[in-house]
Chains A and B, each alone.
Chain A
């Protein structure tokens, strides 16, 4: 069965970076894009960007351009999302999700990132 398993919760200080991993299983990793979506407490879902694991091609929401980097390690079927220059407004649950076209059909369990001094 398709599974996306994310890394555990992280705590960072303002100005630091965080890298969240998303390990895929149950399907051919390079055949589907991986998206990253976040949800701050009390807020809605917010799309951050996507990556094609086959080509490595990425695209990011304008809001995160220059601050987010999606990458992958095909040998271990794992995608990564790194967010830099963190502020308290980046405190959120971060999800990876597989996409068919633009439909996010399988999601990871979420990773809580807390930014606090």
Chain B
């Protein structure tokens, strides 16, 4: 079974500041890890994913995340926040391979202050 814990239900940063959204996972098998973004009244959009290979993955809109197996973490970062980054962010894990079931965290609401 898989589970995801997102630390901090609400993160507030200033425009231009570093964005760090934390995600820890639990999985009995090598996981596939995902970050999704959800804007108000919209569906989820994939930001980036880790399956195998390079542990630092780059996504859209300048976001990146690093898979750290020893820490069971997959934190999302962006060097400089933009107002348009304000949204809800979800971390998700699957068992990988042919098991496509995604288990989501509860989400982190990112607020960007001018």
Same complex origin of A and B: no
A residues neighboring B (CB under 8 Å): none
B residues neighboring A (CB under 8 Å): none
